[in-house]
Each structure stands twice: as structure tokens, then as C-alpha cells.
Amino acid sequence: MYRTIEWLDEKNQVRLVDQTKLPLTKAFIVTGSHERIAESIKVMEIRGAPAIGAAAAMGMALAALESNAETKKQLISDLEAAAETLNTRPTAVNLTWATNRILQVANATEGDVESIIDRLIEEAKEVAEEDVRMCRAIGENALPFIESGATIQTICNAGSLATVHLGTVGAVVRVAHEEHAGNISVFAAETRPRQQGARLTVYEFMEDDIDTTLITDGMIGTVFKQGMVDCCVVGSDRVLGTGHVTNKIGTYTMAITAKHHDIPFYVVAPTSTVDIDNGPESVEIEERDPDEIRIINGEYVTRPDAKVYNPAFDITPPELITAIITEKGVVENPTRAKMREMYEK
Amino acid sequence: MYRTIEWLDEKNQVRLVDQTKLPLTKAFIVTGSHERIAESIKVMEIRGAPAIGAAAAMGMALAALESNAETKKQLISDLEAAAETLNTRPTAVNLTWATNRILQVANATEGDVESIIDRLIEEAKEVAEEDVRMCRAIGENALPFIESGATIQTICNAGSLATVHLGTVGAVVRVAHEEHAGNISVFAAETRPRQQGARLTVYEFMEDDIDTTLITDGMIGTVFKQGMVDCCVVGSDRVLGTGHVTNKIGTYTMAITAKHHDIPFYVVAPTSTVDIDNGPESVEIEERDPDEIRIINGEYVTRPDAKVYNPAFDITPPELITAIITEKGVVENPTRAKMREMYEK
């Protein structure tokens, strides 16, 4: 799999894949303009917290290259304007985090404008590299649980496309695939209503020639019963200090069904998603637009006035989870104490 | 809910709803032509074993009215031709069963052509009435399990539209709704890949002003956990003598999830679907076209070359089933012996 976003050294430009065209068309955007990066973030040509963090950092580096500043002060003024331009999605904390990080480095760096710019490019690339290393560490921590020949059940997309490279669940699959000489397969649940499993997960594993089979969400029982799957590996939007896991709707049903068949259920996530002080009572589940369920590909699949319940996430309790795996380590049979021990490492 | 198919006495014509236009448009076909009925069966304007049985019987009665026969022999010759015309779907045993039944009555009836025709119309109407009575008996047998205020979880469509009226799961909901003064609600799982839950179940319960909420298949765990549902009621394509139940893919996952939350799981079906001498090893699960999953409303939702597993049905074992309910009675905690006792009543 190519990187979702990448700095091209030879041109000092940024290349990113246009996710709005996937999975049917693979088109890259190559740009030297921080305004074009801002646009990509806004229209979700690039999405996923780690990926847009890297995009914002690289956007800042492009802004530095675009600047006509002759003094550090002028440069910082241009960078502050660029940071505003790049913060196109108000709730995306990674955007602010990344633009602030580049601004701090600019402020802290001594020397002429040119050397400051070089330093900012290095820092933007480092933001991306940190994400790649974090993903790889998750994949390596999970490796002892994934035997050669294993088939891994996934839900939604926690793959490369949400990160700079590898992904979280994607890293588990890819590191095991490397280690076991390609002897790893995937079953991807399509993940209604938005079908990130069908649209993204299938696409990105096929790009890497990883044997991947698409199923509907209701088929998991049959697939588990027939012994077609060896373990489940899912991501998380928020891991709680109690060992409860918030993830895409459907995850909890999958965990119950896995438990019924004695199939191990692994959750992988960076520690940045761990909310160590809180439990499930702190989570408010977002209810989304009913039309996400009523309409597919522009046409109604039910009555337009059908009543709909559309929670975006569910919560899986620790008793259904075999292990929670982060870049810092593995928590088997998660408890509050074990979670804190891993977290504070 | 109107009847799926109905004999109009005043005109001696047949009225049926065009299911290919549902749920967005409610259009009826009214015809005095048995060839038009044959066409409706062929293009699936009418579908479901009981409904097409009634359609074929009524088609035979129309053919009798259309006939210019002056003798019983001529009439029977015309009816034999009509039976061939009406048998448009080779694997639908109900078609042959219904046309044979009308032919046998024609052969057995004495008197002039006009009185034979009157008798055939009565017989065709009786085929439909038997189905209505069978559905109602299922609904009445289930009633002790459905309390006032209950919310019932369904999957797929086992409602009116597959039968002449009421349906099987539909009868359970409707008879309880009548009995409990409208104090019954439904959660309908959309049922990927073909979405009969979204397209048909939501539609037909809304027609009867029954409070119905549509969810995706992966949401059942959350709905059960939150106490939004009191029991599951599902249909069956084939109930086995061992108490195993073959039904739409997703049923088994739902049964596991219901068991995990101690939610009763009821299966309703006419005894005509009971295969009393066989167990699950006799069932071969049909695998359907991968494009049912890859394409929705004419557009791909994944890569066109994605590998897909698309089993049409699954098998739920008796230990997950609270009771199997037929028109003949109720089998709680089904075993082979109890199934046979109910069956041979």
C-alpha cells in the first residue's frame, strides 16, 4: 500500500490519494500549495485523525516554502495565517495540534529564513514518521497473537487510509502478512450504514495482495460457526480506562458472536485514543442522520418517512475482549489496573 | 394492510399489489386475464410461496371465465393449457400444487359448464382463505408470548406480502397489535444484502400504523443491550425435525445476540415448511451472486473484483430458540420428540 500522504523530497511537494474517488479510481493529488491541502482536508479527500494531522503539518511546511518572508517574524506571521487556513474542521483536534507544533518549532529555531524552512520540512516529515512508527509498533505487539495461516475478521476501516501508512488494524494484518510470508487472510464486514469495510478495507488490502473476502454484517455468525475465521481485530475511537471500547456500530454484536464461538477478540488503538480516567458512563453515543440508512447510492431503500435509529458507535465491555493492544504494549483480559499500568509505561 | 391478492366478486377479477414498485409506490394490478396473472408471477410482481399459490389458483378461475367451452371436456382442456401458462417458475412447488388442485375440482364437479366455473371460483377463493386462516392461527398461537407494550425485533420479511394476508411474523405482530389495542412496536433489521426488512417489512407495518423502527443488522447488540426490544420473532424457510431452523442470513447472529441478553427468540412458520424427518446436515446453503453485495442501487460499493462470500441462509440450532410456533401449536425448547408430536397433531 502506498502512503496516504507523503512528502516528495525531489520537488518539495506533497502527494496524497484522493479518498473521495476510492475504491473505484486511484487518483493522487500532488501540490505545492498549502491552500490546496486545506481544501483536501475540508472536502475529506484526506480523512482520519493521524492522516489529517500529517496533512496539516505538511501544509505548514508548504506555506513556509510559499512565503516571501525575509525575516523570521514575517515568516511566522505567514505561518500563523496558514494555520488558520488549514484549520478547516473545527472538531479535529489533530489539525490544531499539528499546526501548533510547526509554529512552536518555527519560534524555537534560530538562524536565517531558509534554514528555518528546512527545519520545518523535517518536522512535518517527522509528524508523519511518528504515525508510521506508532502503527508498526501496534502491529508488532499484536504479532504473537497472529499465527501463520490465520484469517482475521475486521469491521469498518482502521487501515492505512486513516493514517499515514499501515493503519492500526491495517498494521496488525500487514506486519503479520510480512512476517508469515503472505500467509494471512482477511474477512471484512461491509459495515453498514456507511460501508467503510466494503469501500476502504477491501480496497486497501487488495492493493497489498492480501487475500480478502467481503461479507455483510449479518454473516459473521455463519463465518465463525464454519471455522472460516481465527480471530477478530478491531480498532477503537475511544478506549476507556475500565477496558470498555467504543468503536463503529456493529463491533459489540461481533464481540458477542465471537465469544459464543470462542474466537479471540482483539482491540488495537494508539494510546492517544485511551481515555484513562473514564468509564463507559462518560460516553455519549452520537446519533446520525436517518438518511444514512434510508438512502444508498442516491436512492431510497425504504419509505422516505421510515423511523430510523442510527447510533454511530457502540461500547464493547472488557469481558468480551481478549486483549487491548497499543503501541506501548498488550493488556490481556483488561481491567482498570492493568489498563493504567500499560498507559503509564 | 390490504390483501396481497384478492378476488373481486363484483367484477370477477383479481386485484394484486405490484411488489416491484414497493415501497415507494403502491400500485395495484386489476385483471380478468390469466395470462396477465402468469406474467405477474414470472416478473415477481407477486412473490412468496403462499401468495403465488393463491395467484395460480385465481389464474385458473379466470381462465375458466375466459374459456368459450360449451362442454366440461373443452373446459378442462382450456384449464390444462392455462395451468401450463401459469407454471412460469419451475422450482415453485406451490404453483403446480394450486393448478392441480383446481384441475382436480374441475374433474370432480358434475353439472353444466357455468356451475363448474362457479365452483372453481369458490375453490380459488378457498385457497386464499386457507392461507389467511393459517397465518391467523400462527398469530393466535404466539399471542401468549407477546405482552401489551412489547417491542418485537424482526429480520427480513415474513409479512403479508409473501402471503395472501397477515404473513407469519406479520400475523404475530398484527394479532398482538389488535389484541393489545395498538400497543405493540417493531424494530426491523434491514437485512443485507437484499434489504427485505427495509424495503418490505417497514413498508407493510407502516401501512397498518404499527410503530416501526428501522436499524442496520449490526445494531442489534446495542438495541438489545439498551432494553429497546422484548423478543425476537423470525420466520423460516425450512424448519428441521431436530428443531434447527433455516432462515435468511443474519438470523443465527441475531439468535446468539438475543441469547446473550436473555431475550426470547421465537420462530414462526407453517407446518408446510417443516421437514420433519431431517436435520441440519441435510441442508445445503445456497450461495448467491457476489454482485448482490458489491452493487447497491446500480452502483458498486466496493471494488468490482472484490472476493465475496454470499450465503443466502443460515441455520439456528434449537438451544438458541425459545419456541417454534406453527398453526398447529407451540414447541418450547424444541427437541426432535416434541417437534414430531406437534407435527403429527
**Both B174 and B143 in a single domain?**
yes
- Spatial separation of the C-alpha atoms in residues A198 and B218, rounded to whole Å: 14
Per-residue pLDDT, A48: 87
Task: Considering only the beta carbons, identify the residue of A23, A218, A306 that sits closest to B214.
Answer: A306
**Both B174 and B59 in a single domain?**
no
Measured between beta carbons, which residues in chain A are less than 8 angstroms from residue B259? 260
B345 has a pLDDT exceeding 80: yes
pLDDT tens-place string over residues B237-265: 899 999 999 999 999 999 999 999 999 99
Average of per-residue pLDDT across B144-173? 96
Whole-structure pTM value = 0.93
Cβ–Cβ below 8 Å for A219 and B191: no
**Both B175 and B106 in a single domain?**
no
Q: What is the span of the domain harbouring residue B55?
A: 5-136
**Both A43 and A53 in a single domain?**
yes
- Spatial separation of the C-alpha atoms in residues B244 and B267, rounded to whole Å: 10
pLDDT tens-place string over residues B222-243: 999 999 999 999 999 899 999 9
| B309 part of contact set with chain A, CB < 8 Å | yes
Per-residue pLDDT, A218: 98
Minimal CA separation from B305 to chain A, in Å? 9
Of B106, B136, B166, which residue is a domain's last?
A: B136
| B249 part of contact set with chain A, CB < 8 Å | yes
Measured between beta carbons, which residues in chain A are less than 8 angstroms from residue B256? 221, 256-257, 260
Instruction: Check: CB of residue B98 under 8 Å from CB of residue B127.
Output: yes
**Both B265 and B331 in a single domain?**
yes
Average of per-residue pLDDT across A292-310? 96
**Both A150 and A216 in a single domain?**
yes
3-state secondary structure chain B: CCCCEEEECCCCEEEEECHHHCCCCCCEEEECCHHHHHHHHHCCCCCCHHHHHHHHHHHHHHHHHHCCCCCHHHHHHHHHHHHHHHCCCCCCHHHHHHHHHHHHHHHHCCCCHHHHHHHHHHHHHHHHHHHHHHHHHHHHHHHHHCCCCCEEEECCCCCHHHCCCCCCHHHHHHHHHHHCCCCCEEEEECCCCCCHHHHHHHHHHHHCCCEEEEECHHHHHHHHHCCCCCEEEECCCEEECCCCEEEECCHHHHHHHHHHCCCCEEEECCHHHEECCCCHHHCCCCECCCHHHHEECCEECCCCCCEECCECEEEECHHHCCEEECCCCEEECCCHHHHHHHHCC
**Both B270 and B167 in a single domain?**
yes
A252 has a pLDDT exceeding 90: yes
- Identify from A208, A217, A232 which residue to disrupt to test chain B contact, counting B C-beta atoms within 10 A and taking the largest count: A217
Per-residue pLDDT, B247: 94
pLDDT tens-place string over residues A14-71: 999 999 999 999 999 999 999 999 999 999 999 888 899 999 999 999 999 999 999 9
Peptide bond into B144 cis (omega under 30): no
Between chain A and chain B, the number of residue pairs with CB atoms below 8 A apart is 201
CATH code of the domain in which A306 resides? 3.40.50.10470
Measured between beta carbons, which residues in chain B are less than 8 angstroms from residue A301? 190, 195, 198-199, 296-297
DSSP string covering A102-130, please? HHHHHHH--S-HHHHHHHHHHHHHHHHHH
**Both B84 and B165 in a single domain?**
no
**Both A225 and A334 in a single domain?**
yes
Average of per-residue pLDDT across A121-131? 97
Average pLDDT over all residues of chain A:
96
Domain count, chain B: 2
Of A136, A158, A183, which residue is a domain's last?
A: A136
Average pLDDT over all residues of chain B:
96
**Both A71 and A219 in a single domain?**
no
A92 has a pLDDT exceeding 80: no
In chain A, the percentage of residues whose pLDDT exceeds 70 is 100
Average of per-residue pLDDT across B210-226? 98
The amino acid sitting at A250 is G
Measured between beta carbons, which residues in chain B are less than 8 angstroms from residue A302? 23, 190, 195, 198-199, 202-203, 214
Question: Where does the pLDDT of residue A261 fall: very low under 50, low under 70, confident under 90, or very high at 90 and above?
Answer: very high
Per-residue pLDDT, B335: 97
**Both A233 and A88 in a single domain?**
no
Instruction: Check: CB of residue A191 under 8 Å from CB of residue A197.
Output: yes
A91 has a pLDDT exceeding 80: no
Of A115, A136, A157, which residue is a domain's last?
A: A136
Measured between beta carbons, which residues in chain A are less than 8 angstroms from residue B281? none
| B220 part of contact set with chain A, CB < 8 Å | yes
Cβ–Cβ below 8 Å for B216 and A298: no
CATH code of the domain in which B13 resides? 1.20.120.420
Measured between beta carbons, which residues in chain B are less than 8 angstroms from residue A187? 309
Measured between beta carbons, which residues in chain B are less than 8 angstroms from residue A23? 300, 302-303
Spot the catalytic one: A237, A275, A289, A291. Answer: A237
Minimal CA separation from B297 to chain A, in Å? 6
Cβ–Cβ below 8 Å for B311 and A222: yes
pLDDT tens-place string over residues A197-211: 999 999 999 999 999
Cβ–Cβ below 8 Å for A214 and B311: no
Cβ–Cβ below 8 Å for A211 and B294: no
Minimal CA separation from A220 to chain B, in Å? 7
pLDDT tens-place string over residues B61-100: 999 999 999 999 999 999 999 999 999 987 778 899 999 9
Cβ–Cβ below 8 Å for B256 and A256: yes
Average of per-residue pLDDT across B278-301? 94
| A24 part of contact set with chain B, CB < 8 Å | yes
In chain A, the percentage of residues whose pLDDT exceeds 90 is 93
Task: Considering only the beta carbons, identify the residue of A198, A213, A250 that sits closest to B218.
Answer: A250
**Which positions of B are annotated as active-site residues?**
237
Q: For A197-206, B62-71, B138-147, B282-291, which range has the lowest pLDDT when averaged over its residues?
A: B282-291
Cell numbers placing A307: 423511523
Cβ–Cβ below 8 Å for B202 and A306: yes
Cβ–Cβ below 8 Å for B309 and A223: yes
Average of per-residue pLDDT across B37-62? 94
**Both A120 and A181 in a single domain?**
no
Question: Where does the pLDDT of residue A90 fall: very low under 50, low under 70, confident under 90, or very high at 90 and above?
Answer: confident
Average of per-residue pLDDT across B290-306? 96
A180 has a pLDDT exceeding 80: yes
